[in-house]
Structure 1
C-alpha cells in the first residue's frame, strides 16, 4: 500500500505543470480522531481513526456558454499512510444554462439528501450507522453513473442519476441497474430534500428501494433544528432476512451556536425493522470549535441501545476504526477530532 501511495504522490507531482496551465486545483481534507470505543461486551479500546480523509484534483474550462469540468478524488487513510486512487467521487461533465450533466462514480442524489439533517457526518454518531444497514444500504457511491441536475429554480432543484450498476449490462438478461432521484429546496431558513432510490434484483446486494426525507430549519441565526425519515423495502433474500432489512429510520436533532465559533449539537435516531427484537436507538452529543474557516476541533459522545438481535455501533461508518458491535448490548464511543480542509 505504501508503494501505491508513493505512486500517487509521484504522479501528482509530475502532473503539476500541466495542471497549472489547465485551470486545475488541488483540494482535500485531513480528518483524524482519537476514540475510546466500547461495544458493551468484550471490546474496550483506544483507537486512532482517519475519517473520510481525502485528496482530490478538479478542473474546468469555459467554452462560450458551456463549462467542461472534471474531478478525481481518492481516500487517504492518514492513520496508516494508505490510499485508494480515484476511489471516491470521480467524474467528468458539462454545465450551462440547462443545468449540468456528468458521468462517472459519485454520491447518489439519495445519499446527498441526508445533508440537511446531517449533524455528525464522518464522526462518531454519524446517522449512517443506522441508515446504511447491511445489504439494505443506500448511502452509496455508484459506478457507471449518468447524472442530470437542473439549474436553480427559485431554491428548488431536481437530480436524476441512473447507474449501469457494477457493469452488469454486459451479462445478457441481467437486471443490475440503479435509479436515484431527489427534489431539494434551499431558501432562507429552510433546507430540505426528498429522495427515492431503487436497486434492481441482480445488483450484488439484492433488490431494494427506499424513500428519504431530511429537513433543517434555522429558528434563529444561532439555532437550527433538523428532522429525518427513511423507509426501506428489501426483497433480495429469504423472508427472514428481508424482514430484518426492511425498516423505518427516523430522528430529530438540534445545533446551537453558543459563541461566534463554537457549536453544541445533539441528535436522537431510531431504526426499527419488520423482524422481532431488531430496534436500535442512536444518541449523539458534541461540541465543535472552528479555529478558522478551514480548521476545526471537536469532541463527541455517542451510544447505541440495541435489541437482542441487532449489534449496531455509533462508529462503524466512514471511519477507519470500526470494531464490531455485540448483539443486544449498548455500544459507546467517546471521540476527540480535528478536521482541516484545504
Structure 2
C-alpha cells in the first residue's frame, strides 16, 4: 500500500470518520548523524544524533467550484537515535484556507522571522547550523509561535509578505500574563536572487522576556556558485539585570557559499560572527561541508564546524536542531566532525 493510500486509511479511521476524504498524505524525514564533538576542555566524545527528524500528515480539499481550498497539517518530531517520539503534534501543526487572496492559517508553526533565514541556511539541522549563534538562551527568535494566526499574501511579481500574531503564549489567555508576540517578513525571489527581511517582537510579559529583532538573509546564484549573506540585530530588555541584558543583546552576521561540483555533489562553507554588548562576548563559527545526493530522497554529507569563543562566551556548533546537546566552555574553542544521512519521504 503506497503512502497516500495508507494516509487516507488513517484519516478515515482517526481524523475524518464518516466524512468524504480529502487528499491526505504521510510525509517525513529520517535524519541521523555520527558526530565527534570536542568542547575544548574535558568533553571529547562520539555521539549519534537525530536531527529534526519528523513524521507528519497533511491534506487539502477544494471547497466548491471556486479557488478556495481548505488544508491542514499535523507534525511531530521523531527521535531515530533513541527510537521514540516527542510530543504529538509538537512541530508545525495548523489548519487554514488559501485562494486568490493568499493564505490564512492558525495553530503552532515556524514564525515568519524563523523562516526568513532560509536563503542563507546552508547547514540547516546539521552540525554548524546558524541557530547555534542566533538562538541563544532567552534571546531566542528561531521559534514556533503557539496560538498563532498568520496571513500570507499571494505572490506579487516576486514579492510575498507574511504577518503572524501569537495571541498568547500558554494554553489559555491570562490577563496579567498575555505572552503575545508579532512576527512579519517580506520575501522577494526573482531569477538568480532570493532574499527576506523580517521583524519579530515580544512584550515583557512573555515567558522568555521582552525582546525584538530584525533579520535579513539573501542568496544569489552565479552558474554553479551560490553566494549567501546573513544579518541579525536583536535587543533584549531586562531592567532588573543589566548584565544579562548586555549578554543577550547582540548582532550576528556572516557570509557563505555553495559550489555545485557535480550534478549531485555540493561543497559548502559558512562564516558567522556574534557580537554581544557585554565585554569579551564575541563568538565566531566556521562550517565547511560536502553533500552528495544519491537521489531526490536520500543524501549523505560530512561537515566540520568550529566555534571560537571569547572570554565570556561558551557556545558550541552542535546544540541546535539536534538531539545531541552539551554545554561549551568559556574562552575555549568547540569543534565537531559529523557524518550524516538524510532520507525524505
How much has 1:14 moved relative to structure 2? 7.1
Q: Using a 3 Å threshold, how does the CA distance of structure 1 residues 168 and 337 change in structure 2: closer, same or farther?
A: closer
Output the aligned Cα RMSD. Answer: 1.6
Deviations 1:218-263 (A, max 9, x none): 022x100000000000003511100000000000000000111001
For structure 1, the residue ranges without an aligned partner over 5 or more in a row are 1-10
Match 2:10 to one of 15, 23, 27 = 15
> When the two structures are superposed, what TM-score results if normalisation uses the length of structure 1?
0.94
Per mean C-alpha deviation after superposition, the further-off stretch among 230-239 and 205-214 is 230-239
Paired residues for 1:247-326 under 5 Å: 247-326=250-329
Deviations 1:146-183 (A, max 9, x none): 00000000110000000023138632243421000000
Q: Does 1:135 align with 2:138?
A: yes
Per mean C-alpha deviation after superposition, the further-off stretch among 235-244 and 303-312 is 235-244
> Who is 1:56 aligned against?
56
How much has 1:81 moved relative to structure 2? 1.0
- In 1, distance between residues paired with 2:204 and 2:344? 39
SS in 2 for 1:170: coil
- In 2, distance between residues paired with 1:287 and 1:209? 35
Conserved? CA contact 2:199–2:215, under 8 Å: yes
For structure 2, the residue ranges without an aligned partner over 5 or more in a row are 1-5
Match 1:337 to one of 328, 340, 344 = 340
How much has 1:35 moved relative to structure 2? 0.3
- In 2, distance between residues paired with 1:240 and 1:12? 52
How much has 1:17 moved relative to structure 2? 4.1
> When the two structures are superposed, what TM-score results if normalisation uses the length of structure 2?
0.93
Conserved? CA contact 1:94–1:100, under 8 Å: yes
Conserved? CA contact 2:8–2:24, under 8 Å: no
- In 2, distance between residues paired with 1:164 and 1:306? 37
Q: Does 1:43 align with 2:43?
A: yes
SS in 2 for 1:116: helix
Conserved? CA contact 2:7–2:57, under 8 Å: no
Q: Using a 3 Å threshold, how does the CA distance of structure 1 residues 14 and 21 change in structure 2: closer, same or farther?
A: closer
